[in-house]
A = this chain, B = another copy of it.
Amino acid sequence: MHKQTIKTSTNEYDVIIGKDLLSNLESYLPHNYTNILIVTDETVSKLYLNTVKEALHHKNNIGISVVPSGEATKSMEYFYQLQTAAIENHLDRKSLIIALGGGMIGDLAGFVAATFMRGIDFVQIPTTILAHDSSVGGKVAINHPKGKNLIGNFYPPVAVIYDVTTLHSLPDREIRSGYAEVIKHGLISDTTFFKDVVNTDLTIPLNSDITVEHLRKGIAVKAKVVEEDEKEKNIRKFLNFGHTLGHAIESELGYGEITHGEAVAIGMLFALRVSEGIFDQSLPYEKLFEWMQHNHYPLSIKWPTIDNLIDKMKLDKKSENAVVQMVLLTEVGKPAVQNIDDATLRTYLEKFIRELG
């Protein structure tokens, strides 16, 4: 079991990573809560809800809300439904919301916790690899039809309890999706970490010890950045590596057509090409491309028009005054934020789309 303490401007909390943590859940909660609302989705509830309920069985008041799986649930409708559930389960300011699931559940339940009675405690129990990213940094949000994560808060959990045993139930595309963010944490921080991850074969079953190690390192990279820049004024933008195009692809293809990480992986390839062009540097484009190919990441997608992509890239929260900002690399481990004018962006996009075929 690894424990890492994350400091934020307002509090600090532990991320606990290990095997078989769920059955001892109560011992990892930072306080003794009377009223708890567990928020989970239909997929995860079938797998782990009973274990969690069992682990909390002598608590007085446990409410449960199961919402549909998938990004579409991060909506105003379910946000409101969960607020109602919190009221109906008599949650008060000393109560707890448990987010049991992947990034969608963490974002949605976290935003409910951030706003219910102006903020109550919440604990994340991530059940995906991707959630190693979203569960650190305190970003919670729901989507607006016009853009992802447009309505939200910075609101850290009081604990993250990461039971890697749950990752064995992940379908292949969820493993790919999660590992894209692990790769990202390698690319923006450290060549050794990047090389280590890019030598991992995702087509064979995950090795728990290696997974714990990758998650631990990924979380450490993320934690270091967000501790320095919680509110995304400057260096936190580095975490957006691959996301400017990635978000645009996700949004244009429709959430669900391609996973978040798969879209980000394509976005990282693009960011590497742009970096090579702008900084006249050699970067591990081929290495990443081959790893993605070997592990069945989608590479030939149904591309939206370039106009639509650029429009969506401008809607990205990181952009200001309608100029696209991208995170590039001057070398592996050295990210830099760069404004890219529309004409340059168009040229790079045309070439990149031709190249991927």
A118 and B154 within 8 A (CB): yes
B322 and A152 within 8 A (CB): no
Distance between Cα atoms of A118 and B140 in the complex (Å) = 8
CB proximity of A141 to chain B, nearest CB, Å? 7
Q: A320 is contacted by which of B93, B114, B317 (Cβ under 8 Å)? A: B93
Residue ID in chain B nearest A76 by CB atoms: B80
A74 adjacent to chain B (CB < 8 Å): no
| Interface membership of chain A positions 107-120, coded 1 if the CB is closer than 8 angstroms to chain B and 0 otherwise | 00000001111110
CB proximity of A50 to chain B, nearest CB, Å? 28
Residue ID in chain B nearest A145 by CB atoms: B84
A153 contacts across to B, CB distance below 8 A? 114-115, 118-119, 153
Distance between Cα atoms of A94 and B320 in the complex (Å) = 7
A322 contacts across to B, CB distance below 8 A? 90
A90 contacts across to B, CB distance below 8 A? 322
Distance between Cα atoms of A76 and B83 in the complex (Å) = 11
Distance between Cα atoms of A231 and B80 in the complex (Å) = 23
A199 adjacent to chain B (CB < 8 Å): no
B87 and A144 within 8 A (CB): yes
Distance between Cα atoms of A76 and B239 in the complex (Å) = 32
CB proximity of A232 to chain B, nearest CB, Å? 8
Residue ID in chain B nearest A87 by CB atoms: B146
Q: A152 is contacted by which of B118, B141, B144 (Cβ under 8 Å)? A: B118
Known: A9-B10, A76-B76. Contact between A150 and B116, CB under 8 A?
yes
CB proximity of A117 to chain B, nearest CB, Å? 5
Q: A150 is contacted by which of B87, B114, B231 (Cβ under 8 Å)? A: B87
A317 contacts across to B, CB distance below 8 A? 92-93, 117-118
Known: A80-B76, A87-B144, A151-B83. Contact between A321 and B92, CB under 8 A?
yes
| Interface membership of chain A positions 322-342, coded 1 if the CB is closer than 8 angstroms to chain B and 0 otherwise | 100000000000000000000
Other than A87-B144, A119-B231, give 15 A-B pairs with Cβ distance below 8 A: A9-B10, A34-B321, A76-B80, A83-B150, A84-B144, A84-B146, A92-B319, A93-B317, A114-B153, A115-B115, A115-B151, A116-B151, A117-B152, A118-B139, A118-B149
Identify 26 residue pairs between A and B in the complex whose beta-carbon atoms are under 8 Å apart, listed by A's number.
Answer: A34-B321, A76-B76, A76-B80, A83-B150, A83-B151, A84-B146, A87-B144, A87-B146, A87-B147, A90-B322, A92-B319, A92-B320, A93-B317, A93-B320, A94-B320, A114-B153, A115-B115, A115-B152, A116-B150, A116-B151, A117-B150, A117-B152, A118-B141, A118-B149, A118-B152, A153-B153
CB proximity of A157 to chain B, nearest CB, Å? 16
A87 contacts across to B, CB distance below 8 A? 144, 146-147, 150
Distance between Cα atoms of A150 and B93 in the complex (Å) = 11
Distance between Cα atoms of A185 and B152 in the complex (Å) = 33
A80 contacts across to B, CB distance below 8 A? 76
Distance between Cα atoms of A141 and B154 in the complex (Å) = 16
Distance between Cα atoms of A92 and B114 in the complex (Å) = 22
Distance between Cα atoms of A319 and B91 in the complex (Å) = 11
A118 contacts across to B, CB distance below 8 A? 139, 141, 149, 152-154, 317
Distance between Cα atoms of A170 and B118 in the complex (Å) = 30
A10 contacts across to B, CB distance below 8 A? 9
CB proximity of A107 to chain B, nearest CB, Å? 11
Residue ID in chain B nearest A322 by CB atoms: B90
A231 contacts across to B, CB distance below 8 A? 119
